[in-house]
Each structure stands twice: as structure tokens, then as C-alpha cells.
Homo-oligomer: A and B are copies of this chain.
Amino acid sequence: MQALQAKASEWSGVKQDDAFAIDDTNLFQKLGLQTFIYLSTNFYSRVYDDEEEWFRSIFANSKKEDAIQNQYEFFVQRMGGPSLYSQRRGHPALIARHRPFPVTHQAAERWLHHMQQALDSTQDIDADSKVRMMNFFRHTAFFLVAGDELKSQNQQPSCKHGSSNQLPCKNF
């Protein structure tokens, strides 16, 4: 299969290098914990109030405060801060943890629309950090769309869980 990250770059229009330019600086040190908390709170306030029912409903079975905490803890950890997310929940395992949700191209664009607005209305995020973060978010959103498409692959009858079959299971 085409690598997940290749699909992510193609669909998002963000090159791999630009997506991970978040690692060329320490955004956590630059912005601080409180900024990430504000950002995720702002973002999910928009999501949970979205006028688009199809998008809002994706989040209907999650508590808003949990969604906020999961998100800012992941951002903090991934952008140079303490590993708050892993200490509480283990590996991010981004694709697996998004399995319950229909992460379509349309959903990725809607997510990014709200995130752009949240970034623009959160104080103390400078223009350079905003660009780095949006490139990271855009690439990641489409990485998850690529991961979501794995779900639609058919189960191979020859690929059994726990089998010692030499052929790799291409899907599940």
C-alpha cells in the first residue's frame, strides 16, 4: 500500500518536512501549557456547537472535557512538553484511537476549519507558531483519513488472527 504519510502529504498538500517543522523549535516552551489549554477549549467549544449536525454528531458520545484534555495533553507532549498524554493514556496510537470515528476528507476539512478559527482567536500564538501548527494539524488530519481508509479494506479469509501464516495480513 502507499505509505500513510505519502497519502497524508498528497491529500493535505503539506510536505512531510513542513508538517514536522514543529520539531525545529520547542512550541511548548514558547507558548506554555495555558495556551494549549485555551486552544483546545476554544476548538472543542466550536466543535460541540457546530451548526453542521453531521460533524457535531461524530463527537456526541465523548464528553467535551475529556476531548479537551486528551487533545491538549497530546499537543503538549508532541510539541516539546512533558509526556502528559502517555503518562495517563499510554501511546497516542493516533490511527487506532480514531477507529470509532468516520474520519473522511470532509470531516478533516471541517476539523481544520474549526482549528484555524481556534488558533486565530487564541491570544499569544505568534504567526510563525500558527503556521507550524496548522501544517502539522493539516498533515495529521489527512494522515488519519488515510488511516480511516484502512477500515474499508476487506478481510482476507487467509489472514487469521494469531496465525503463523508467512503472508502478512494486509488488512483487518
A127 within 8 A of B: no
- How far, in angstroms, from A70 to B24 measured CA to CA in the complex? 21
Contact with B along A149-170 (1 / 0, CB 8 A): 1111001000001111111111
How long is the Cα–Cα vector from A151 to B143 in the complex, in angstroms? Answer: 20
Q: Which residues of A, 71-89, contact B by the 8 Å Cβ criterion?
A: 82-83, 86-89
Q: Which of B54, B82, B90 contacts A19 (CB 8 A)?
A: B90
Chain B residues with CB under 8 Å of A95's CB are 91, 93, 95-96
In the complex, besides A16-B90, A93-B143, A150-B172, 4 extra interface pairs with C-beta distance below 8 angstroms are: A19-B90, A99-B172, A101-B168, A102-B162
